[in-house]
Amino acid sequence: MSGAKSIVHDQAQSRFVIYVDDQEAGFAEYVQDGSVRDFNHTVVSGEFRGQGLSKPLICEALMATKEAGLKVKASCSAVEAFVEKNPDFKELLA
């Protein structure tokens, strides 16, 4: 079973990181160009796969991007699929 989860925006590394019990479990990386964050790489580490971590990670990354008044480009297939399944986020697409 997975433990306590937290998601942190690591602005220095241009990525959102998900932790499980204080251990880095995955991240959603982006490149920011002006007012657009291009989410180009999402990874969940092997031992954490299958725990449904990418969905809350991507959701938090997109919500934080929206709150910052920025747009999203979904170069990463996981982010693109998330937006397809959650049409409320389509308004964020650049």
- The pLDDT tens digits for 14-63 are 999 999 999 999 999 999 999 999 999 999 999 999 999 999 999 999 99
Domain ranges of the chain: 5-89
β-strand partners of 38: 31, 73
- State residue 3's pLDDT score: 84
Give the Cα separation of 60 and 42 in Å (integer).
13
What is the CATH code for 5-89? 3.40.630.30
- State residue 2's pLDDT score: 55
**What is the band of 1 on the pLDDT scale with cuts at 50, 70, 90?**
very low
Q: For the residues 74-86, what does the mean pLDDT come to?
A: 97
Whole-prediction pTM: 0.94
